[in-house]
Amino acid sequence: MTHLLHLDASGRTNSFSRRLGAAFLADWRAAHPDGVHTYRDLVADPVPPVDEDRVHLATQSSVHGVRDIEAMDRMVAGAPGLAGSWAITRPLVEQLLAADVLLLGVPMYNFTVPAAFKAWIDRVTLPWLPLKGKTAVVLSARGGAYGPGTPREQYDFHEPYLRAYFSVLGLDDVTFVHTELTHATVMPFLARFREQHEVSQAAALDAVRALATRVRAETPS
């Protein structure tokens, strides 16, 4: 049985990244009728940003050589001041560890990821967190064009950042699907790129539907 953790981080309820996620989910459910789907809207239900207690929690986990949730529980039991932060963090870590496929709706905001998604990353990431063997599908929407060979390629701090982040945690099976030039639908000075946007959007929808039927059907060992 495959377990899909699905996160949305767009500030718009009808955003392009959310539409891609909905298309993926529909085909994934058809391909994996017994699969488990865990969903969180990081805008409607935001993760609390990192504070001093959360930083201390990560530091102490390294000091004590923690390697799993049970060891974290034992450490926190001996440090009551960390209990509140761990109570917030633990369910998020459990969700992440339980999933074998991550479906991440993460649009580009100001050349990088939205604050809502960064808050989740900062909250859930711990020095011992293992992501090896998982699969991630990142669905993004970009107001302009940032692909290879475009004038703004160098301003893409979204995909390189996420690839680096996942790689450090052992997750190398990451696929990005981008819808580009979304601002062409609303900004008059970009209207001439509307056809290119529509081509990009159609290609992205085709890509996510194909991916939904190909992601692994069993949790990696």
Using only the alpha carbons of the chain, give its radius of gyration.
19
The count of structural domains within the chain is: 1
- 3-class secondary structure, 70: helix
Q: At 197, which CATH number?
A: 3.40.50.360
How many whole angstroms separate alpha carbon 16 and alpha carbon 12? 9
Residue 72 lies in a domain: no
Residue 54, token pair as written in the block: 């959360």
Instruction: Note down the domain range covering 179.
Output: 3-47+98-214
Q: Are 136 and 176 in contact (CB under 8 A)?
A: no
Contact (Cβ atoms closer than 8 angstroms) between residue 116 and residue 76:
no
**pLDDT tens per residue across all 221 residues of the chain:** 899 999 999 999 999 999 999 999 999 999 999 999 999 999 999 999 999 999 999 999 999 999 999 999 999 999 989 999 999 999 999 999 999 999 999 999 999 999 999 999 999 999 999 899 999 999 999 999 999 999 999 999 999 999 999 999 999 999 999 999 999 999 999 999 999 999 999 999 999 999 999 886 444 43
Give residue 115's pLDDT.
Answer: 98
Is this prediction's pTM over 0.85?
A: yes
Beta-bridge partner residues of 217: none
Q: What is the pLDDT of residue 1?
A: 83
Is 77 inside any structural domain?
no
Residue 109 within any structural domain of the chain: yes
| Any domain includes 173 | yes
135 class by beta-carbon count within 10 Å (0-12 exposed, 13-18 middle, 19+ buried): buried
